[in-house]
Amino acid sequence: MRAKEIASITLSDVLTRSGKSKYNSAKLKYETECETEWENDDLKDSFTLRSAVTKGSKVDSAYLASKIVRESILEYLSKRVMMFQRGEIDNLFLTKRGKPFTPQSMSQLFMAMSKLSGVEFSSHSGRRTLVGNLVRKGLHIFDIQSILRHRSVQTTVLYYQQDERRLGDLMADAQNGE
């Protein structure tokens, strides 16, 4: 997903009815710091990306398929219930001050995490890494285009051509006479 799309995700986008019920009862029940246990069934499998936040202004879907992403969201929800309660804010991701992220502040967060980790990446790096992984798994270029929500396959080809790991593997194979 793009930074703008990540910043726009709401609780309503990702929570199932049971998750919303749990969230609402936690809001009414607690007035001090609390943790609520969230479960995998509290998250939807997919949600709609609104046209106002997608590139090209088209309505699209996002999938919560990764086990790691799902577990991370559930853990995050458990720790942030009070912040959601205080401001009646529907955004899933909030800044330290309890405000919704803007696309710019989400990109800045990625830059700050990159500096702290010592690993160079950006808010867009995940998309490039995903393409590389999908190519190495043998997915067809048109399937990758669909996953990335590119209008033109030519845009997807650019990611494919810039996959340095794949190019390095090709060069190593060429040097070894394969």
Provide the mean pLDDT of the chain: 82
**Cα angle 106, 73, 48; round to 5:** 70
Q: Is the pLDDT of residue 125 over 70?
A: yes
Mean pLDDT on 33-40 = 72
**What sign does the CA torsion over 47, 52, 54, 57 have?**
positive
144 touches 135 (CB < 8 A): yes
pLDDT digits (tens, 9 = 90+) for 68-107: 999 999 988 887 776 665 556 788 888 888 888 999 999 9
- % of residues, the chain, pLDDT over 70: 86
C-alpha distance from residue 152 to each of 93, 124, 132 (Å): 30, 18, 18
What is the token pair recorded at 64? 């919560």
- Within 8 A by CB and 6+ apart from 104, the residues are none
Interior/surface letters 98-136, b for 16+ CB within 10 angstroms, e for the rest: eebbebeebbebbeeeeeeeeeeeebeeeebeebbebbe
